[in-house]
Amino acid sequence: MISETYSLLVNGNSYQVVDGHPSESLLWVLRERLELSGSKNACEEGECGSCTVLVDGEIVCSCLVLAASAVGREITTIEGLGSEDEISDVQKAFVDAGAVQCGFCTPGLLVAIDQLLNTDPDPDDLTVREAISGNLCRCTGYGRILEAVRIASKNRKAQNQEEQGK
Amino acid sequence: MGVIIAKSVNEACAVLAENPAATVLAGGTDLMVQVNRGTHSLETVLDLSRIPELKKWTMEDNQIILGAGISYTDLTHPQLSAFFPALAQAARTVGSPQIRNAGTLGGNLATASPAGDTIPVLVAMDASMQLKSSTETREVSITEFITGVKANALKPGEIIESIKVPIFKGPQEFLKVGTRNAMVISVVSLALVTDYLERKLRIGVGSVSPVPFRATEAEEFISDKFDWETNRNLSEKVINKFSELVANSTEPIDDHRGTANYRKHAVKVLAKRALERVSAGDIK
């Protein structure tokens, strides 16, 4: 049994992984070793997107990232959005639109949508659908999720205009 | 040994020479599926994802040399898609944004799936590949490289360094059949690449045989019939004959994604559609 000790940079914090096995996925290490259980585990084959995280600013399925190969990369999980006291604007938009039913796909969608709006603050409908095409929701049927993106985008635009006006 | 993150091609080759049994990791989108299922336990892993040389592309004469670590997302960027629209179209149909950010061109080729999306395009364009080990660098054509279903010509200690793709003048088209747009493994795929200077239409097909291949008989037929000045006058009869020749060259199987009969039918539809689309644009 080969074991490894290495550190991962998650949401700006450095975590030690002690006695890890080389086969462990980033998703498994996040959930089981680092107790960051916000990223969900469903398919483990990159089909569902519920484990979506950012690695060096790009969305990826954390189940398909070898944990020990992510040393030195900047990892952002759902726990890195918003803060303990205040949820992020995209999270708030999900609440306002009623875009959460069972909630299992929600963390992955939030990470994907937050990243989309960071790069394209005013995406058209097709761009949004493309951006979340790797995140499966089996409850709501996406209507309210798309509505949540529209709300978040509108709020960000209003906030940007306000800040520019100052 | 655990996971070794190589910083250069030479370092990667040296590591592999010392550990020929090491598992090579690129984007992880195929490998990690097997690892998560427990069918592939890792001991020594050579990670190629942080080698800057493998992420670069350069132009040489009338060819582009693509680093094996270039991602599907990279292939869709305008800089590259301008040279290879069909390759960009193929890359764009892979998985989801998450998968396209991680998965690489080199990984698609090393996996050598009959359904690998970039392969029919690269086959149509006669791409070649540079393979490197600590002692040797060699070039093989893409058809020499893919030796069977999920089998490739890599020797122990070798990695794919780059893929050399000629630039062709004229319109291109990639089409794929699946159950939906995102997250789909192709049931049939087809690439049509126009080579205006040589007056040749090149056709690569995927998912309808053990390895993607060029439909040469159909190519010869249509290149001869094609009106290279106005590209307008293709008769229904010629188009049908062309699509039949493409379908006749395939050897599809029945599986859970579709029957052989369906694939024969679908490849005919794709051939016809690709030809019509290529004919609709400016040929030069």
Q: Which of B7, B24, B31, B36 to mutate to test the interface with A (most CBs of A within 10 A)?
A: B36
| pLDDT surpasses 50 at B66 | yes
CATH number at residue B197: 3.30.390.50
Helix, coil or strand: residue A64: helix
Q: Read off the pLDDT of residues A15-72 as tens digits, 9 standing for 90 and up.
A: 999 999 999 999 999 999 999 999 999 999 999 999 999 999 999 999 999 999 999 9
For residue B257, the SS3 value is coil
Distance of CA B90 to the CA centre of its chain: 8
Give CATH superfamily name and number for A89-161.
[2Fe-2S]-binding domain (1.10.150.120)
Residue contact B97–A59, C-beta within 8 A: yes
Kindly state whether residue B60 falls inside one of the protein's structural domains. Answer: no
Q: What's the number of domains chain B is made of? A: 1
CATH number of A4-80: 3.10.20.30
Tell me whether residue B180 is in a domain. yes
Q: What is the pLDDT confidence band of residue B23, given thresholds at 50, 70 and 90? A: very high
Asked if A46 and B42 come within 8 Å (Cβ–Cβ), the reply is no
Q: Find the radius of gyration of the CA atoms of chain A.
A: 17
Q: What is the ipTM of this complex?
A: 0.96
Q: Is the pLDDT of residue A1 over 60?
A: no
CB B186 within 8 A of CB B117: yes
Maximum alpha-carbon separation in chain B: 64
| CB contact set of B4 (below 8 Å; sequence gap of 6+) | B15, B22, B44, B45, B46, B47
Pairing, β B159-166 against β B200-206: unpaired
Per-residue model confidence as pLDDT tens digits over B117-136: 999 999 999 999 999 999 99
Domain that includes residue B258, residue range: 172-280
Q: Are A52 and A61 in contact (CB under 8 A)?
A: yes
Mutant choice from A19, A55, A61 vs B, greatest count of B C-beta within 10 A = A61
In whole angstroms, how large is the CA radius of gyration of chain B? 19
Q: Which CA distances in Å does B40 have to A22, A24, B31, B159? A: 11, 11, 8, 20
pLDDT in tens, B232-245: 678 999 999 999 99
| Min Cα–Cα distance to chain A from B77, Å | 15
* A-contacting residues in B 85-104 (Cβ below 8 Å): 95-99, 101-102
State the average pLDDT over residues B250-277.
95
Kindly report, residue by residue over A107-123, the tens digit of the pLDDT. Answer: 999 999 999 999 999 99
**Domain ranges in chain A?**
4-80, 89-161
> Out of B28, B49, B96, whose CB is closest to A134?
B96
Instruction: Check CB contact of A22 with chain B, cutoff 8 Å.
Output: yes
Interface probe with A: pick from B3, B23, B40, B98, most Cβ of A within 10 Å: B98
B42 to A1, A7, A68, B108: CA distances (angstroms): 10, 19, 11, 20
Percent of chain B clearing pLDDT 70 (strictly above): 99
